Amino acid sequence: MTKPVVGVIGNAQLVNERFNVQVVGQRNLKAIAEVADALPLMFASLPDITDIGALLDAVDGILLTGARANVHPTCFGVEPHPKHEPYDQDRDAVALELTRACVERGVPVFGICRGFQEFNVAFGGSLHPEIRELPGRMNHRMPRLENGEIHPDPEVVFADRHEVKLVSGGTFATLLGCETIRVNSLHGQGILEPGKRIVIEGTAEDGTFEAIRIAEAPAFALGVQWHAEYDPQTNPINRTLFNAFGAALREGRKG
């Protein structure tokens, strides 16, 4: 039996200040291949060439990855500000429509970091451009050196930074078998107002939303604010999430 196929969204990047390319972090691909036991297939986040209907006919599930670019504020009725750049409006156009289409068609979809935020915006929610600027919130961005440069050690950057309290009896708590977990943290934007079908299932100790599901979705439709793709081969929390995603892919094939 062939492995299920997971479409992994690409991100726009300019190489050598000349060439526009679409890229995907290898850890996303390895998490799909090695933990979800599926075949990762990158697709472009370019609305002029990406036919969402045809894409969903070709894959068994979708992974919406993290990305450097913020979701454009006009997607949730707010004026943009240069200090919150970069943006990637092509990805916005693909990801928001794709999220809704996955739920409508019952295609398993897993949102990570930016993907988590896209879930919320797709169903009418809003984001704050810098969660750390809200009263009482911690800095959720990646660790930096005193000179402002990103810490050079990935083990430090992706280390568990804070706890997440899961809703008792919820999908995440049931799946993970516990009500408190520890996760990494590498984001600026975060959910401000949840969308109409967004169910909050996990909250950081400072009140930041960290785990969500889409209500009444007929298949796997979970989102996490942390980077679960970094270490699911060794981290039991993230491994369980990717295992569950893989199981949903195979269950969808049976149907």
Neighbouring residues of 22: CB distance < 8 A, sequence distance ≥ 6: 10, 11, 12, 13, 42, 44, 45, 46
113 is catalytic: yes
Distance of CA 118 to CAs 18, 23, 157, 190, Å? 28, 18, 23, 10
DSSP assignment letter at 150: B
5 within 8 A of 38, measured Cβ to Cβ: yes
Active site residue: 118, 201, 210, 229, which one?
A: 229
**Would you tell me how many other CB atoms lie within 10 Å of the CB of residue 67?**
26
Question: Residue 216 to residues 14, 84, 106, 198: CA-CA distances in angstroms?
Answer: 39, 33, 10, 10
With vertex at residue 36, the alpha carbon angle to CA 34 and CA 37, rounded to the nearest 5 degrees, is 60
Catalytic: which of 72, 113, 118, 187?
A: 113
Q: Going by C-beta distance under 8 Å and a sequence separation of 6 or more, which residues neighbour residue 175?
A: 240, 241, 244
227 is catalytic: yes
* Catalytic residue set: 113, 227, 229
